[in-house]
Amino acid sequence: MTDAYREWYRGRRVMITGGLGFIGSNIARALVDLEADVLLVDSLIPDYGGNLNNIEGIESRLRVNVADVRQQSTMNYLVRDREVIFNLAGQVSHIDSMRDPETDLEINCRGQLTLLEACRRHNAGAKVVFAGTRQVYGKPDRLPVDEGHLVRPTDINGINKAAGEHYHLVYNNVFGVRACSLRLTNVYGPRQLIRHNRQGFIGWFIRLAVEGKEIQVFGDGSQLRDFVYVDDVVDAFLRAGSTDAVNGDVFNVGGAEPISHRDLVEMLLKAAGGGTVRYVEWPPEKKAIDIGSFYSNSGKFQRTVGWSPRVPLKEGLLRTVEFYRENLPRYIGEPS
């Protein structure tokens, strides 16, 4: 696939749920540069990542609707003229899902059904790209993990995200609402939530490094993970949204190669020019849902749409550290 997929978005009517969040706002920035007609939908629930600072400088080039995907009448109205829907609305904290499973169920299951029903009833021609997660696999039987691996989540969030994903596949296969799921690994980069540590460790580690503080690594740091820079994830969504080759299927979207937590922190501290690291025992509530080493095989997506991660981890960390050095107060206080 050539860069024609980017040109395809010129004038397209695109909706992004969770559009004021980390990945959603970065997709929005790419789309306004491509001259798409962009509508952002976000509930702005505190602590979930939505932040008006994320669209600073492009406010006049898109529209924002503050709404919850669980509101059926609102979704019925908003989807009506949208050609592509990037569906990133969700509760993504594994810890929060264990503490409050009902809210996780409401957002990650009922909210997805609400959006899909709106499409089915009021805009069956829409294309929906769902933000899935590698968490649905659970503890891996083999590495790297491909899409043929069993779906066996270890926490409430993984179960509900798996259900949300399958809703999209059913609506594609049965009701004709074109949909697919991108199973994202550890995404990092500018505009990520760093106010607290409940939405993944990489954003929290970046904040501590920028502030020159101590990073605590659980265990001995030997666990492996793959990391993918947000610009590469944006590119993955743009490719998926512009082709029917992905309809009704799931795809891993991960980093180029795995790295241990120990080596990651060393690289991050060098990028930040400060901070320290200490290895500590696992907290029981986190150890209970830990999946061990995990890294994915994204070959299926690469073969289907030509995607591959382009930003090396070292470069991505440098870009991210620079962004937060310039914008830290906007991302550690109360969101706008």
242, with CB counted inside 10 A (0-12, 13-18, 19+), is buried
Give tens-digit pLDDT for 298-311: 999 999 999 999 99
What CATH homologous superfamily does 4-332 map to?
NAD(P)-binding Rossmann-like Domain (3.40.50.720)
Q: How many residues does the chain have?
A: 336
Q: Where are the domains of the chain?
A: 4-332
Q: Is the pLDDT of residue 50 over 90?
A: no
Q: Is the pLDDT of residue 84 over 80?
A: yes
The confidence band for 196, taking pLDDT boundaries of 50, 70 and 90, is confident
Give tens-digit pLDDT for 148-194: 999 999 999 999 999 999 999 999 999 999 999 999 999 999 999 99
Do 281 and 269 contact (CB within 8 A), yes or no?
A: no
271 Cβ neighbours under 8 A, 6+ residues apart: 209, 314, 317, 318, 321
Report the pLDDT value the prediction gives residue 289, as an integer from 0 to 100.
78
Q: Is the pLDDT of residue 95 over 70?
A: yes
pTM (2 d.p.): 0.95
* The residue type at 152: R
Long-range contacts of range 301-304, CB-CB < 8 Å, 24 or more positions apart? 301/182, 301/236, 301/246, 301/251, 301/252, 301/253, 304/245, 304/246, 304/249, 304/251
Give tens-digit pLDDT for 247-296: 999 999 999 999 999 999 999 999 999 999 999 998 888 788 788 999 99
CA distance 125 to 143: 38
Q: Is the pLDDT of residue 226 over 80?
A: yes
